[in-house]
Structure 1
Amino acid sequence: MCVTRDEWLRTELRRLQGRAVAAGLRAERLKRGLPSALPPRGSRAWRRTRTLTRTLTRTRGLLACSLTIAVAVAVAVAAAAFTGSLSGLFDQVTAARCLLPNNYLVWEATRPLSDCSFCQGVTEPLILHNISREDFKQYAYSSGPIIVKGAVSHWKAMHKFSYDMFKNLYEHTNGAYESVEEGCQFLNFKSDLFSLRDVFAMSDDRANHAEGEDPWYVGWGNCHPDILAIIRQYYTYPEFLPEDSELPNSENIFFGYELGAVMHLDYIPRLMWQGQIKGNKTWSLAPIPECDHICKPFQFYVEPGDAVLLDTRIWYHATHIPSGQFSLTVQSEYG
């Protein structure tokens, strides 16, 4: 039987309270609330708890958890940090499959703090044109946003890729849906579509965002070998990427209308590149919480045929599609 989020958090909070008292933290301080139980101001544990609290605010559209759960997690983190059992708590959260989907809180809470040099003074993307692999070397592993104009405009995918094409592929490839459900990630963002089966079961009116129909936007990883073999006929990795860079074995597709991706970090091992195939897209970037006092959020947009490169592991990012436009992108990593 799976323990619910609330049950697990109540049990864990009681256990941590006992350990905190045993370690010398007075019970009355815990009863008075979180602020009096926090680690000393300025300490690493204090900075970690503050960063996690800011993250809860920044990613409120992505984390489907109630305010009660968020407060309980914050109290648990504070008590665990004080007693030195923070890593143990995160180990248990990671192992608890029913606690928080994808464990975004855990990933954020265990992310190394940044010195903010990556975003200091950055207020817009670097825009490049017709750049060669040799000339791109100086920018290849930088963390700031880069737009290479027209970099993927020669892809056959610009004319071939569509909702109907992917629907046909997944409906007529044995094991295609299962490959996403079992081995690849599906992201519904703010849509009411919870699987790729749901996406391709939409009515024509909904799929085409006809008047009166709700917008939708989703993304998923393509890891079925037969589907990958087909879709890779229509695009290539950007030619300017370093020849010796490590590349993954799958690519992601993101498509839909208006909604775009909510503000989030990516927990991936490499830098991100994305080819904009259809529609315009606005990107909103924000620094990680500990850099709010040094770096500023900003926006930029890309057009069909552009390639975007960004270290999405340290830049919070969200996207939005202009009203009435259908956006479709191919995304992958390099490093």
Structure 2
Amino acid sequence: MSSPKLPLYLDNASTTKVDKRVLEEMLPYFTELFGNASSSHSYGKVAKHAIEKARSQVSDLINANDNEILFTSGATEAINLGIKGYAEANSHKGNHIITVKTEHKAVLATCEYLESKGYEVTYLNVDKNGLISLDQLRSSILDNTILIVVMYVNNEIGIIQPIREIGLMAKEYEITFFCDATQAVGKVHIDVEKDNIDMLCLSGHKLNGPKGIGALFMRRNIEITPLIHGGGQEKGLRGGTYNTPLIVGLGKACQLALIEFESNIFNLISKRKRLENYYEKNNLGLINFKESPRAPHILSITLYDYEAEEFLMIKSKEFVASTGSACNSEIMEISHVLKELDFNQNNNIIRISF
């Protein structure tokens, strides 16, 4: 039985297909190389070696050290572990956190949880271009500020925040800087040393790796309290049997993203330019944030003659895209990101992602 013919997939900010080379790398660890990486015999050693190889591949992509990579089930867990774990372990230093109103829901929900536990959170505004004000960030820093949380690339509009400048400011005030780089890895050159990032999260399924696997980068001097207690895996910070096949897949995806970075970026920018030109020349829509620093794979368009849902339904046999973040798709309302950008009356914005 043949597979049904599907439309062109233009929703890669939501999830990406697994690269065939990634799948090939994973398959043996489901079958003949199935050992538990915590076992001391030969089967366990083979699995452990594969995990450490993947750890190195992940660290290479962001210029970290291998022993600073902690495997998780995805970026959401990494966000919870990094932010909650740091806040709890460092509450003696202070209880104030700074983040941004347009962060991913995983960050905002985590910060709201911490507020219920007595922590103070400052939510920075963004301007019409989706960017924070560095002056507002500086003025928000208090004596009890312990954490600054800013995402690298916004998942709905593709805007790149001034991460290096934020990192420098955090370093100046000796405040830990957490960066959600889920949409940035593989599409933006990330260097945790030059960017002065202390903690960073990423997820495999955003860069042609498998779902259900991610990582938290955490500098060696950072202390966090674990969320999951168990058999002492990941230095005791994330208990549970290693998911070797998925970890191997994440490592391979990161390796390919690094090797093919320049050609991938060139292709993404070329695709985006062609589609921008098409919508502009045919007077179909306005390209949003065109003058802002943008990641090459996300395109936000305000349609002229259609509501977003109607347009995507009409075009559903040609291509699929999103009216906003897939994480918000079950809630039929304007996303929190678009509201902060004064698009709260707009129901004609689509997100195309390559």
Same fold (TM over 0.5): no
TM-score bin, normalised by smaller chain? under 0.3
TM-score, normalised to structure 2, is 0.25
TM-score, normalised to structure 1, is 0.26
